[in-house]
Structures are given as C-alpha cells and as structure tokens.
C-alpha cells in the first residue's frame, strides 16, 4: 500500500502530513488526521452531502475524494467560515432563520451555500434549491434552509 | 475500502503500460466519483489505482470552426457547463452538463470517466450521441478514433481495450440552422440520475426538419440513437401530430431496461413523453404530451 506526503492549505494554514495511505478519504483525513470534526461523515456513499467541503473554492463531497487529491490545493471546512468570534453571515442566518434542527447536515449545507453565493450572490429561491440539491436534510423540510441562504445573501450583498 | 497503491503516470503511454502490466488488478482513476463508490461497496477491489490527474494532454476544452470541439477526457462536468466555447457553440451540451447529478459531483466527476464507466443512467452519453461525438482512445500503441456509438457497446461495457484510455471527446461543429434540446425525466426532484432522457439535434428551416439525430438515454441498457424516428423527422414539416407520431416511434423502437426505479412499460411511456416534449421544444410547437394516447401511466 503506497503512502504519500500531503502538503496543502486547510482553512488558510499550511498543512503537511507524512505517510498518508493512498486509500485515506479526504473526509477521514480532515477528521482523523487533522481533527477537524466539523465535517461530518453521513452516508459515505456520495448521496447526503454532509461531508461537503470546498477545494480551491469549489464544493465537493469529501467522502468521494482521496486525501491525495488535495495535494497543493486549498481546502476550506466549516471551521474556516467564522473570522474569530465573528460568525459568517450564513452561519448567522441559519441560526436566525431556523435553518437547522439536529445540525448534522449543517456544515455541508453551509459549505455548499457558501460556494454557490460566490458565483451567484443574488439567487432566486429556485436557484438556491437547485444549488443545494447535492445536500440532504431530514429535519427541516428545506424551507428554512432556503430562507437562511436568501437572508445571508442579502446581508452579504449589503457588505455585512 | 481495501488497500491499494496509487500510481501517477505523466503521459498516456506510461499510463497504458501500467494498466497493461497490472491487468484487472488496476483501474484508471480520474474524478473518482463512481470508482470510490464501487470500491467502498467492495464491488471493485483493485490493488492499484492509476491516477490520470498528471496527464496534461487529457485536459482542456478547445474549439476550431472546422474541427469542432475538443474536450479533454479529464474535463469535469462543471468545466463543460461553464466553458464559454461550449456555451456559445454547443448550448445544448452546456445545458446538459449543468444538470448532471449535483454541484459537488459536477465539480469532481469527469466527462471521460462518465463515458468509460458505461453507466446508462447518466446524462452525457445520450446528449453526445445526438451531437455525433467521436472519442479518441490512446495507448502505448498509438491512437484510434471511434464514433461514440461504437464506443458505447452495452450496459457498463465499452470498446476500450485493456491497455487503452479515453483521451478526448470530439464534437463536430453544428451546421447552420441546427439546434439541440436535451430533456431528462426524474421521478422526484431529489433524484440525481435521470430515469429517462432524450436528446435531439436537428437542422431545420422554420418547421421543416432537414436533418435529425435523436438519442434515448437512461431507460435503455446503453444510450441509443433511434434511426427510424430520425428518418421520420427528416424532410417533414412539423406540427403537433408529427411530434406525437415521432415520439411514438421513439418509444416503440427502444429496448427499455426494467429495475427498481421502473418497469419496462413505465420507462417506455416516460420516454414517449420526454421525446414529445423534446421534439416540440426544438420546433417551438405547443403540445401537452401527457394527453397523448398511450402515454398515460
């Protein structure tokens, strides 16, 4: 079994881990090697999106990706959203609008929504639903998640 | 997932030699979205993965007015959807790519990987068939070019030799007056894989259809062109009745799959509805396919 040296940027900080087995999934690398447990393992079959993170700004499912695939790239997890004590507008809106109940899917939704709002800062409700169709939530029925994202989009457009 | 060694060739020839030497113990690895699932479910347990990520010759999307479009096999669905060249010259292809699965998979999965996996329940094969695409296969022995129709052999089966890899996809330029429509049907909005799809590329003068290629995907073991429907459309002045008749031919001529998502009769009827909507949209004809006889579920 081959082992690899992984050097990448995670939430703005340089990371270097020696002897990572080729079969290590990105989700396991983040949680077990880097102890960033905000990223959740849900279905682990590419369906639920709870493991969504951003790689070079794009949202991906970290259970469908090997850790070796992020060598030389920049990864952002939910731990990288807040600036110190200042929550990201999406995090704030999910709290204000009731965009979560159990919260297990929330990190994945936040990362997918964050990537979506960068390419489409003023989405319609329909566009939000379409942009989040790689993520499942079994609690909220989605309505409040869509409201949360629209609320955050408005705050972000007004420079908050 | 079982242990494996990761190999990282830099050229097509090097990758081909690795696969030839390792045989069935090795698999090529591009985006990984399908392969990771197969390995985690232990349907596949390769001892070696040959990563194609370092092969620059398999990247990029280019367009030439004579040669047409060249899509490197490593282009991801998101790359195809966002490419200004694809959007301008092949809007139907960009529109299809923007609907594949979900944003995450579009950012990870590659067009080449999609075609090589041979899974019929996906969007690209049918759309590319209607666009008359060809594929370039490479190995240490050289290159060969095949029509996509000859590459897609059967259910999860392609024309790839054991030492070959898909290097690029070529799409000829669309003739003046041509347009394309791709329509997919999902049982629920949450499904990521189409239950039925129809792609139509036609050259027309107003309502007169001069040339047509129509392909069904997702409801057949392999994406399939429907030649009798193409012959019916070509030279015909289109109206609502002609749309219904053409859709009925498409539905009659396919060999539908039956599985947990739908039996053969249901899929045939959904293909008929989707075919009618596709043809009607391309010619700008207003029609309610759900009223069509035989299309009621």
Q: Where are the domains of chain B?
A: 5-51, 56-171, 178-290
Put simply, the answer to whether B36 touches A65 (Cβ < 8 Å) is yes
Per DSSP bridges, beta strands B196-205 and B178-185 are antiparallel
Can you give the pLDDT at residue B295? 47
Q: Identify whether residues A71 and A98 lie together within a single domain.
A: no
Q: Identify whether residues A73 and A7 lie together within a single domain.
A: yes
Please measure the distance between the N-terminal and C-terminal CA atoms of chain B and give it in whole angstroms: 41
pLDDT at B294 > cutoff 60: no
Q: pLDDT tens digit string along B116-154? A: 999 999 999 999 999 999 999 999 999 999 999 999 999
pLDDT at B293 > cutoff 70: no
Structure tokens at B47: 């001892």
Question: What sign does the CA torsion over B83, B86, B92, B96 have?
Answer: negative
Closest CB to A2 among B2, B6, B32: B6
Q: Which of A61, A80, A99 is the last residue of a domain?
A: A80
Q: Report which of B295, B281, B283, B288 is spatially closest to residue B236, judged by C-alpha positions.
A: B283
Instruction: Supply the range of the domain harboring residue A127.
Output: 89-157
Distance CA A146, CA A151 (A): 9
Length of chain A, in residues: 160
DSSP B194: -
Q: What is the CA radius of gyration of chain B?
A: 19
What part of B 34-53 touches A (C-beta under 8 Å)?
A: 36-37, 40-41, 49, 51, 53
Q: Identify whether residues A56 and A115 lie together within a single domain.
A: no
Mean pLDDT of B207-228: 98
pLDDT at B292 > cutoff 90: no
Q: Identify whether residues A25 and A57 lie together within a single domain.
A: yes
Structure tokens at B254: 């396919």
Q: pLDDT tens digit string along B104-122? A: 999 999 999 999 999 999 9
Q: Identify whether residues A99 and A131 lie together within a single domain.
A: yes
Q: Give every CB contact of residue A110 below 8 A, 6+ residues apart in sequence.
A: A78, A81, A88, A90, A91, A94
Q: Identify whether residues A54 and A101 lie together within a single domain.
A: no
* B82 inside 8 A of chain A by CB: no
Domain count along chain A? 2
Q: Identify whether residues A93 and A44 lie together within a single domain.
A: no
Asked if domains B5-51 and B178-290 share a fold, the reply is no
Put simply, the answer to whether A112 touches B104 (Cβ < 8 Å) is yes
Q: Which CATH architecture has domain B5-51?
A: 2-Layer Sandwich (3.30)
A48: domain CATH number is 3.10.20.30
* A112 inside 8 A of chain B by CB: yes
Q: Which of A38, A59, A80 is the last residue of a domain?
A: A80
Q: How many other CB atoms sit within 10 Å of the CB of residue A136?
A: 17
Q: Which residues pair with A52 in a beta bridge?
A: A61
User: Can you tell me the ipTM of this complex?
Assistant: 0.96
| CATH fit for domain B56-171, picks 3.30.465.10, 3.10.150.10, 3.40.50.11540, 1.10.3300.10 | 3.30.465.10
The residue whose two tokens read 């009745």 is B241
Give me the CATH topology for the region B178-290. Enolase-like; domain 1 (3.30.390)
The DSSP secondary structure of B127-188, one letter per residue, reads: HHHHTT-EEEEEETTEEEEEEHHHHEEETTEES--TT-EEEEEEEPPPPTTEEEEEEEE-SS
Global pTM exceeds 0.80: yes
Q: Identify whether residues A119 and A140 lie together within a single domain.
A: yes
* A6 inside 8 A of chain B by CB: no
Q: Identify whether residues A96 and A59 lie together within a single domain.
A: no
Residue B188 pLDDT class (50, 70, 90 cuts): confident
Q: Which residues pair with B16 in a beta bridge?
A: none
Q: Which of A80, A100, A131 is the last residue of a domain?
A: A80
Planar angle of CA A27, A30, A34, nearest 5 degrees: 155
């Amino acid at each position: 079994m081959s082992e690899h040296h992984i050097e990448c940027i995670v939430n703005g900080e340089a990371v270097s881990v020696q002897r990572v087995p080729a079969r290590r999934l990105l989700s396991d690398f983040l949680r077990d090697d880097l102890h960033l447990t905000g990223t959740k393992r849900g279905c682990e079959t590419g369906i639920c999106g709870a493991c969504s993170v951003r790689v070079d700004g794009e949202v991906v499912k970290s259970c469908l990706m090997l850790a070796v695939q992020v060598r030389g790239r920049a990864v952002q997890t939910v731990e990288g959203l807040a600036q110190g004590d200042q929550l990201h507008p999406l995090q704030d809106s999910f709290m204000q609008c009731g965009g979560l109940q159990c919260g297990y899917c929330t990190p994945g939704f936040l990362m997918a929504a964050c990537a979506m709002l960068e390419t489409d800062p003023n989405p319609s409700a329909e566009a939000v639903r379409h942009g989040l169709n790689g993520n499942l939530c079994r609690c909220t029925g989605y309505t409040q998640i869509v409201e949360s994202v629209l609320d955050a989009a408005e705050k972000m457009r007004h420079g908050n | 997932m079982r242990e494996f060694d990761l190999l990282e060739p830099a050229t097509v020839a090097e990758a081909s030699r690795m696969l030839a030497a390792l045989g069935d113990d090795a698999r090529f690895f591009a985006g990984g979205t399908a392969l990771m699932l197969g390995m985690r479910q232990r349907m596949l347990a390769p001892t070696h993965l040959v990563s194609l990520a370092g092969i620059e010759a398999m990247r990029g999307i280019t367009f030439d007015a004579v040669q047409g479009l060249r899509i490197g096999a490593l282009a991801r669905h998101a790359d195809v959807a966002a490419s200004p060249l694809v959007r301008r010259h092949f809007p139907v292809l960009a529109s299809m790519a923007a609907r594949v699965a979900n944003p995450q998979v579009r950012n990870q999965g590659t067009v080449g990987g999609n075609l090589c996996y041979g899974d019929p329940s996906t969007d690209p094969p049918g759309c590319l068939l209607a666009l008359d695409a060809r594929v370039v296969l490479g190995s240490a022995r050289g290159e060969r070019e095949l029509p996509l129709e000859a590459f897609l052999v059967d259910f999860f089966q392609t024309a790839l030799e054991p030492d070959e890899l898909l290097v690029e996809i070529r799409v000829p330029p669309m003739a003046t007056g041509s347009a394309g429509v791709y329509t997919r049907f999902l049982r629920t909005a949450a499904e990521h894989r189409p239950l039925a799809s129809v792609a139509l590329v036609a050259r027309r003068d107003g309502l007169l259809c001069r040339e047509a290629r129509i392909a069904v995907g997702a409801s057949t073991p392999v994406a399939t062109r429907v030649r009798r429907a193409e012959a019916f459309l070509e030279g015909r002045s289109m109206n609502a009745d002609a749309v219904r008749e053409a859709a009925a031919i498409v539905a009659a001529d396919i060999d539908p799959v039956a599985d947990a998502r739908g039996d053969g009769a249901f899929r045939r009827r959904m293909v008929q509805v989707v075919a009618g909507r596709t043809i009607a949209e391309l010619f700008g004809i207003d029609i309610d396919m759900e009223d069509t006889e035989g299309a009621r579920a």
